[in-house]
Structure 1
């Protein structure tokens, strides 16, 4: 039986915790976690090193909360969804009827790569709704940009408050609506220079060869291999499911590669494409799912010329 504000609910309860002091965070997090443990619910913390340490120190001794390494959980949005869905399925299979988690997007994800974490926050309203999960997503209003907080309001149905209550989010929109919004995609600074490689209607093999050649000495071998796979999938999708011409461009910096693949079409119809495995055979669904797990940032946009995916390997810009 579910307890607290999740009592009587089915599916996912997704709350945000927007706090302005460490004390405010603890006022929400500690009762949430202690309440879960006391009710016999599997209870997890997936916060960063600083905030996770604060919570650990504030919990009563012997509180049986499991601490997940936030940096490992939130490496990439699609990987986080995959991991959590498996965790939730395993817990329910073992008999859990209620689960609690508090987590946070890593600091690096609140900068130029926030767009795909915003998409994550929207998508999980659907992705986790098959399980009896109550989660809180923590955001520090002292450091988080106002534009990020606006997205937090749009992707969380409600806010947890320090007095133990809950406020509905006036800015919340359905995840499908949020995911279909066109978001501005700022160019990576290395895109200010002409591309190192530019190909029209390339084969997947040509694109792979270009990436492999440019990435030597810039990226670790396994990371380069992942990026080659991602580029191959995206180029193949463009050729099979997009509208010609397909255009491939590649930029190389000291610590990263950036590639764009464009075609004259409108892109996938599924708003969850890339974030969730596509089980209905939608065009390109599996390729986009693989791509989102093989890159350190994926952005997309539509304009008068068609649909573009931008993929980054290596270290995305910090600002």
Structure 2
């Protein structure tokens, strides 16, 4: 297609993150093929990770150029659950960054069509912050025929760019990552009167208190509950003299809340950001989030409260 600028003004020095929602096979081909061909002509590694139908269409159009792609992979082999998938994705990105000055990725997160995969929208939001300095163009493919309206709405809110017909343009619905996360976290309601509450000064005390609640609720998940709460208490005691730990059941969920009177979180996205390698990496919130089924944050300059939700 003449006049198409597949990556617009992207200069290869940082992240460009586009959400492309297509309704026909032709729309897909006309967007992705120029994107891949342009990258190959510039000597950039081009990676394609997509469902079977998308890969079949692209293979037909690209012909022998498929063999020049740095990756041409089935998307379903990537999904390991939100945190595990992002951890593997992060590892691959860092490895690629070590050998390539810039690259481009066309990826179809097929798991967004599944109930257990829709949390990926949160990681898409956080990517705009934690990968801002990585030099790649991420073209995220979303089939309007397969995805519910709520997922497509999240696509617009988590991608700074959309396709304008001949070049990428700013997406007007895009939101700051923290604002998006707050909108999709479980609603924050007052702690119920029946909750068990304790002010604790050591992680050991927290493990003992949370273990009792978890064993009474569902012993099979006691280890996960205790470990997740332990991580948050360690963080809380770094900024306050004590941590207030509470727990209660809400239907088939156990809720564990860890609160402190510290200065507030510097970044509410930390639970979704892969920790850096090495012993000094800040892993507490990441580990707690990965063990729980959901989480919510209430943070301000007078303190922070984090709730973890565990399902039976």
> TM-score under structure 1 normalisation?
0.70
1:268 aligned to which of 244, 265, 270: 265
With over 3 angstroms needed to count, the CA separation of the structure-2 counterparts of 1:49 and 1:302, relative to structure 1, is farther
Q: Per-residue CA shift, 1:245-279, capped at 9, x if unaligned?
A: 421235796xxx65432537696331322122567
Q: Which residue of 2 aligns with 1:248?
A: 247
Does the CA contact (< 8 Å) of 1:199 and 1:249 recur in 2? yes
1:97 matches 2:93: no
SS at match of 1:63: helix
Q: Which residue of 2 aligns with 1:233?
A: 231
With over 3 angstroms needed to count, the CA separation of the structure-2 counterparts of 1:5 and 1:70, relative to structure 1, is same
Q: Which residue of 2 aligns with 1:167?
A: 169
With over 3 angstroms needed to count, the CA separation of the structure-2 counterparts of 1:12 and 1:43, relative to structure 1, is same
1:298 matches 2:294: yes
1:311 matches 2:302: no
With over 3 angstroms needed to count, the CA separation of the structure-2 counterparts of 1:212 and 1:142, relative to structure 1, is same
User: Aligned-pair distance for 1:124?
Assistant: 1.0
1:200 matches 2:197: yes
User: Aligned-pair distance for 1:50?
Assistant: 4.6
Q: Per-residue CA shift, 1:136-173, capped at 9, x if unaligned?
A: 11222234343433332232121135x54323211223
SS at match of 2:269: coil
With over 3 angstroms needed to count, the CA separation of the structure-2 counterparts of 1:301 and 1:25, relative to structure 1, is same
User: Aligned-pair distance for 1:200?
Assistant: 2.6
5+ residue gaps, structure 2, are 1-5, 199-204
With over 3 angstroms needed to count, the CA separation of the structure-2 counterparts of 1:258 and 1:100, relative to structure 1, is farther
SS at match of 2:296: strand
Q: Which protein shows a greater Rg?
A: 2
Q: Name the CA distance, whole Å, in 2 between partners of 1:41 and 1:176.
A: 32
Q: Name the CA distance, whole Å, in 1 between partners of 2:173 and 2:257.
A: 33
1:40 matches 2:36: no
Q: Name the CA distance, whole Å, in 2 between partners of 1:155 and 1:7.
A: 18
1:131 matches 2:161: no
Q: How many residues align?
A: 287
With over 3 angstroms needed to count, the CA separation of the structure-2 counterparts of 1:311 and 1:239, relative to structure 1, is farther
Q: Which residue of 1 aligns with 2:201?
A: none
1:120 matches 2:96: no
Q: Name the CA distance, whole Å, in 2 between partners of 1:134 and 1:227.
A: 38
Q: Name the CA distance, whole Å, in 2 between partners of 1:18 and 1:90.
A: 29
Q: Name the CA distance, whole Å, in 2 between partners of 1:54 and 1:226.
A: 43
Does the CA contact (< 8 Å) of 1:230 and 1:290 recur in 2? yes
Deviating above 6 A after TM superposition, structure 1's stretches of 4 or more consecutive aligned residues are: none
Q: Name the CA distance, whole Å, in 2 between partners of 1:312 and 1:58.
A: 46
Does the CA contact (< 8 Å) of 1:264 and 1:306 recur in 2? yes
With over 3 angstroms needed to count, the CA separation of the structure-2 counterparts of 1:26 and 1:309, relative to structure 1, is farther
Does the CA contact (< 8 Å) of 2:106 and 2:139 recur in 1? yes
With over 3 angstroms needed to count, the CA separation of the structure-2 counterparts of 1:157 and 1:108, relative to structure 1, is closer
Q: Name the CA distance, whole Å, in 2 between partners of 1:10 and 1:232.
A: 39
With over 3 angstroms needed to count, the CA separation of the structure-2 counterparts of 1:262 and 1:19, relative to structure 1, is same
> TM-score under structure 2 normalisation?
0.71
